Chain A
Amino acid sequence: MARIARRCTPVVACALLACAAGPITAAQAAKHKAKSQTLVVCKHGCRYSTIQQAVNHSGRKATIDVRPGKYVEGVFVKGHRHDGLHIIGIGKKPSAVVIEGRHAHGPEGAAQNGIEGDNVNNLDLENMKAEHFASNGFFINGCKGYEMKDLIVGFNHSYGMYVFKCVGGRMTQSVGYGNGDSAFYVGGTPFQKHPIQTTLDHLRGYENVLGYSGTNSKYVVIRDSEFYNNGAGIVPNTLQSEPWQPASSGLIEHNLVYWNNFDYYRPGSPVRTVSSGVGSKQANYPIGAGVMLFGTTDWTVKDNSIFGNFLWGAAAFSDPTNPTQKAVNDGNRFIDNKMGGVFNDANGADFYNDGSGRGTCFEGNSAGSTFDHSNTEPDSQLYASCPNSFGTGTTAADSSQFGKLAAIVLSNPPTDQEKIWHVHAHPPRKGRTPFEG
């Protein structure tokens, strides 16, 4: 009882002060309270010993300060009453606050995500680490705006940082490794009449199946980031299984994309692969590629440094099996990129185009760039400069190019993909070691 009295006293005092200062509406008071609300979480001696407890007691625009420690839980933030919530680790570095997925439980089994926001706008997550979750490190499902900053995501089953059905937002200054799909993922983005950009910048993704993946993502800018030692570096894609096809209107610029030759198909790989399912004729992801535009429309790959990827530096192709025919290699542009030769670290071929769709073009890339040639179509059409009107106009590809791609994705066992790699030693890079699995 005494404890309750102590809690109430400041509230009463505040109320009296407010009255003395002049009229104030209940709404204004609530707004003021919400703005100033800060909740502190720590393992011992704080009012809240779990992040979930603090979330449950937080309102709009509240701040939750999480002190250093390991928190074995999956945190769920649901609904607009949490709009503007800021959850921040207050350690000196992100790894000081660890949200641990091993032995963490949720309402229906294993905890799925380190922190999940479900229909929360402007959720800010900062300066924490999430690892070993059954699904994702950090996941926001349905939002207008978010910021994920100074986060580390490692060895989560699917994605490190994942957003779906969001309009706008930013992932920045974060690191992802060992994730079973991609380190960073922007999923289905609703069509917008006046698009709000999603920005991914100053990210570092390594030793994941994919560095960046985004199914049906739109209005995304990926810049000033580094993707290396993944199975493939940056892979926006279109799939019928998810809403808002196709992946369109994206920009990939000023990134370092290199050494993406992680063969996670090898036995004993430290990262489990998405292609470990059954069926001898399954189609597997290509490995050894820097940038792959899979069924995208109007994506621009500009002024990146792309080198040392043993299959392709950058590639574009359609998905002819998509029954909606919306996964078309249309209007993609590869401009002003510095490719393998510039770094004395060749890609298998700097560019691959399957010849499907219409108008995909190549211009201003570094001198001596190499192209994966077709036996049936001249480079002057397959790798034409911008703008152009070449291409089949459909998801059907040039037969020669399609044959190569089919052989890759149907390699059995999938480690046979390595047989067509152009393997060589890389020039050293400070602080980086090539990793192939």
Chain B
Amino acid sequence: MKRNTLIGSGAALAAVAAAAVVAVPVTAGATSAHGAKATAKHITVADDYFSKSNLKIKKGGAVNFVWSPQNFESHNVTLVKGPKGVKHGQFTSVTGSTGIRFKRTFKKPGVYHFICTIHPGTMILTLTVSK
């Protein structure tokens, strides 16, 4: 059972505040498909949301998913729909609460739809990779 949501506004405030605390916008660099140093975008995986629901990056860019240390529930990042030819398993993380860092580089342009399979109602991310 996650944090109680009896009081919607309170829970929403908490969620916003939590996102503000844990979501660092940009972190480590990543190597692009062409060998150039690219900036990895940072997504926090928290109870029960991704810190962003939409994200745009350029081809060769990377996304670094980092599980919040404040989590008490298990989450994963699972690719449910992506560009043709992309292997979903390569863009699917393990399931867990804390201490996970999952970084992937996106070489193929298109739209990637991610969810947490345990919390598909609230943990949804659409990633658009442009050419």
A positions within 8 Å CB-CB of B: 76, 106-110, 112-113, 116, 118, 134-136, 139, 141, 157-158, 162, 164, 180-182, 187-188, 210, 213, 215, 235, 237, 239-243, 274-279, 281-285, 294, 319-322, 405-406, 409-410
Contact = CB atoms under 8 A, between A and B. Distances in A.
Contacts of B11: 282-283, 321
B56 interface: no
Contacts of A281: 7, 9-10, 13-14
Contacts of A321: 5-8, 11
Contacts, number: 146
A322 B21 CA distance: 25
A110 B67 CA distance: 11
Nearest to B21: A278
A389 to B, nearest CB: 25
B3 A277 contact: yes
Secondary structure type dominating chain A contacts: loop
B3 A282 contact: yes
Nearest to B102: A108
Nearest to B93: A108
Contact of A277 (B1, B5, B18): B18
A178 B87 CA distance: 40
Contacts of B70: 276-278
A181 B73 CA distance: 8
A157 B67 CA distance: 13
B10 A279 contact: yes
Given A110-B99, A282-B10, A181 B72 contact: yes
A409 B72 CA distance: 18
Interface string B95-130: 111111110000000000000001111110000000
B101 A283 contact: no
Interface string B64-92: 00010010111000000000000000000
Given A106-B94, A134-B98, A321-B8, A239 B17 contact: no
A321 B96 CA distance: 27
B57 to A, nearest CB: 20
Contacts of A109: 67, 99-101
A112 B95 contact: yes
A165 to B, nearest CB: 8
B1 A181 contact: yes
Contacts of A162: 74
A157 B6 contact: no
Given A158-B74, A242-B121, A321-B11, A283 B6 contact: yes
Contacts of A108: 93-94, 100-102
B97 A112 contact: yes
5 contacts: A106-B94, A110-B96, A136-B97, A242-B119, A277-B70
A274 B71 CA distance: 8
Interface in B34-54: 47-48
Contacts of B95: 112, 116, 118, 135, 139, 141
Nearest to A324: B121
Contacts of A180: 72
A158 B97 CA distance: 7
